[in-house]
Amino acid sequence: MRAFKVSKRAKSIEYAIRDIIGFAKNLEKQGRKILYLNIGDPVKYDFDTPKHIKQALFDAVNSGANWYAASEGERDLKESICEKEKKVNGVDITPENVIVTAGVSEGIHLLMAAMIEKGDEVLIPGPTYPPYMSYVQFFEGTPVAYRTIETENWQPDIDDIRAKISKSTRAIVIINPNNPSGALYDEKTVKQILDIAGEHNLLVLSDEIYDRIVYEKKFVSTSHIAKDLPVVGLNGFSKAYLMTGWRLGYLYFHDTAGRLNELKECIEKETRIRLSACTPVQKAGAVALRGPQDHIKSMVDELRKRRDFSWKRLNEISGISCTKPEGAFYVFPKIEQVGSRWKNDMEFVLDVLNNTGVLFVPGSGFGEKYGSGHVRAVFCAPLGIMQKAFDMLEGFMKK
């Protein structure tokens, strides 16, 4: 019998961060020990969700908050999001301009479904977080990667952004701090991107999930400096609040002139057909934003130590070079002999995995043009694990 037909859009989906896991699982079945440095989930290591947030979830369930929530999100959570954005990022929004999502990934999905038609283009940073490529393609659009400059700590190339705008361009994506490079975009650069967007009547989508995980420099929200230019902000609870598996995020619309009203209404329609984000988790999310915040400083202090170790250790390995991340919890080192010793970065990653049991993500999974020849690793793991992983990597490179 013939297999049932599936859609081209579903067959085309790729997600390098998780697609690579299958290779590691096959080795585990053979009894091999794997060191996973591929997924940005600090809770998988030795970080834990703060107790008061866990308690808030228990309390919500036990008090009976187990109904369907409003499709666009519980009012109390949306109010707490507005309070947080004002206090932390200096952004003024109202609850009516907030939509609660099941993580930032769902927010990207909702946005692209509402914005993109066949042939539309979206400018995304290169390298980029893979769902921005995948969802644009899923809805028959074209993701166009703009260059970020490795020798300048992966800052966006403003001239390249300007050169890649076409009559089909619909939006410019900013991911700040950036995944996978760990770059923190400076205020001047973000302002220049906003100016280009205003000049060409383009929407700016600003992914700020790592807004509170920065090291030496201060994060500045895109909406804070946008003035009257429309911005859709994306953020969530996975990273700063260590709620990765809880799947809670949000979109907000910075829109002083009402230019995004129709987009917001269409996304609200989309939320209705998927019903709602998890109600008790939303209750806990409001407590997370209004409750004690001291865990964030201690988490960032510990991550800074792990960042410094990873960056230094990678640059000590012959054949590898790495810029210093200024935010998030990723390193994105360049592998000098990709193209000669290894055909591509995927071949390198599998060679390392098979010989050492250390799992990285191939850089080309974050965009072929600007990610190739690199790998992404997380530095969420304890120092002992990372030291072991990088020692094995160094031994492998010396062979």
- Rounded percentage of the chain residues whose pLDDT exceeds 70: 98
Residue 74 lies in a domain: yes
Find the CATH number of the domain harbouring 92. 3.40.640.10
Indicate if 284 and 341 belong to the same structural domain.
Answer: no
**pLDDT the model gives residue 111:** 97
Q: Which residues contact 260 (CB under 8 A, 6 or more apart)?
A: 203, 230, 232, 253
What is the structure's pLDDT at 3? 75
Question: Quick check: is 193 in a domain?
Answer: yes
Distance between CA atoms of residues 127 and 398, nearest Å: 28
Question: Of 265, 290, 315, which residue is a domain's last?
Answer: 290
Q: The domain containing residue 307 runs over which residues?
A: 8-48+295-398
Rounded alpha-carbon distances, angstroms, from residue 195 to 169, 259, 300, 324, 325: 15, 17, 32, 28, 26
Q: How confident is the model at residue 16, as a pLDDT?
A: 61
pLDDT, residue 272, reads 92
pLDDT band at residue 136 using 50, 70 and 90 as cut-offs: very high
Q: Is residue 100 part of a domain?
A: yes
- Give the pLDDT of residue 11: 73
Q: Domain check: are 313 and 362 in the same one?
A: yes
Quote the pLDDT of residue 24.
85
Which pLDDT score is estimated for 2? 76
Examine the domain organization and report whether 377 and 365 are in the same domain.
yes
Q: Is residue 103 domain-resident?
A: yes
Q: How confident is the model at residue 21 (pLDDT cuts 50, 70, 90)?
A: confident
Q: Do residues 252 and 321 share a domain?
A: no
Between CA 176 and CA 183 the distance in angstroms is: 7
Contact in structure between 311 and 383 (CB atoms under 8 Å): no
User: Do 155 and 193 sit in the same domain of this protein?
Assistant: yes
- Three-state DSSP state, 232: strand
Whether residue 170 is found in the same domain as residue 273: yes
Average pLDDT taken over every residue of the chain: 94
Q: Is residue 305 part of a domain?
A: yes
Domain count, the chain: 2
pLDDT score recorded for residue 22: 85
Question: 392 and 334, same structural domain?
Answer: yes
Judge whether residue 18 has pLDDT over 70.
Answer: no
pTM: 0.93
Statement to judge: residues 188 and 329 lie in one domain: no
In this prediction, residue 322 carries a pLDDT of: 97
Last residue of a domain, one of 240, 260, 290: 290
Helix H or strand E segment including 184: none
The predicted model gives 18-38 an average pLDDT of: 86
